[in-house]
Amino acid sequence: MIIIQGAKTIQGDVIDLTIPSEEEKTINAAGLMILPAVIDPHVHFRTPGMEYKEDWRTGAKAAIRGGCTTVFDMPNTKPPTITTTLLKEKKMMIDQQLKEADIPLRYQLFFGADKQHLTEIAPSKSSAIGIKVFMGCSTGNLVIDDDESLHAVFSIAAKEDMMVAVHAEDEHLIRERKANYSGEMHYPAHSQIRNVEVATRAVEKAIGLTRQYGTRLYILHVSSAEETALIKAAKQEKLPVFAETTPHHLFFDTDAYDSLGGKAVVNPPLRDKKHRDVLFDAIHEKIIDTIGSDHAPHTIEEKNKPYGECPSGMPGIEFMLPLLLNAHQQGRLSLSEIISLTSERAREIFRLPASEDWVLVDMEKTVRIATTESKCGWTPYQGLTLKGWPVYTVLKGRCYHIQ
Which chain residues interact with ligand DOR by CB under 6 A?
A: 44, 76, 138-139, 167, 266-267, 296, 312-313
At its nearest, how many Å lie between Zn ion and the CB of residue 184? 24
At its nearest, how many Å lie between Zn ion and the CB of residue 37? 21
At its nearest, how many Å lie between Zn ion and the CB of residue 294? 4
Q: By C-beta, is 230 or 266 nearer to ligand DOR?
A: 266
Q: By C-beta, is 124 or 312 nearer to ligand DOR?
A: 312
For the chain, helix (H) and strand (E) counts, in that order, are 14, 15
Q: Does 357 bind Zn ion (CB under 5 A)?
A: no
CB atoms within 10 A of CB 116: 9
- Identify whether 294 is a catalytic site residue: yes
At its nearest, how many Å lie between Zn ion and the CB of residue 142? 11
Closest listed residue to residue 322, CA positions, set 366, 272, 273: 366
User: Which alpha helices (H) appear in 141-195, and where do they start and end?
Assistant: 147-160, 171-180, 189-193
At its nearest, how many Å lie between Zn ion and the CB of residue 31? 36
**What kind and span of H or E run contains 73?**
strand 68-73
Question: Helix, strand, coil % (nearest 5) of the chain?
Answer: 40, 20, 40
User: Which listed residue (40, 55, 114, 294) is catalytic?
Assistant: 294
d(C-alpha 234, C-alpha 353), whole Å: 27
CB atoms within 10 A of CB 126: 6
d(C-alpha 283, C-alpha 228), whole Å: 10
Closest listed residue to residue 35, CA positions, set 395, 338, 386: 338
- C-beta separation of 359 from 394 below 8 A: yes
Q: By C-beta, is 257 or 392 nearer to ligand DOR?
A: 257
At its nearest, how many Å lie between ligand DOR and the CB of residue 264? 10
At its nearest, how many Å lie between Zn ion and the CB of residue 21? 33
Reply yes or no: is the peptide bond before residue 20 cis, omega within 30 of 0.
no
Q: Does 294 bind Zn ion (CB under 5 A)?
A: yes
The angle formed by the CA atoms of residues 357, 359 and 362, to the nearest 5 degrees, is: 165
Q: By C-beta, is 8 or 53 nearer to ligand DOR?
A: 53
By beta carbon distance, the residue nearest Zn ion is 294
d(C-alpha 238, C-alpha 235), whole Å: 5
d(C-alpha 348, C-alpha 334), whole Å: 20
d(C-alpha 90, C-alpha 78), whole Å: 10
Q: What is the DSSP string of 235-280?
A: HHTT--EEEEE-HHHHH--TTHHHHHGGGG--SSPP--THHHHHHH
Q: By C-beta, is 266 or 361 nearer to ligand DOR?
A: 266
Q: By C-beta, is 106 or 221 nearer to ligand DOR?
A: 221
Q: By C-beta, is 262 or 313 nearer to ligand DOR?
A: 313
Binding site for Zn ion (CB under 5 A): 294
Residues acting as catalytic residues: 294
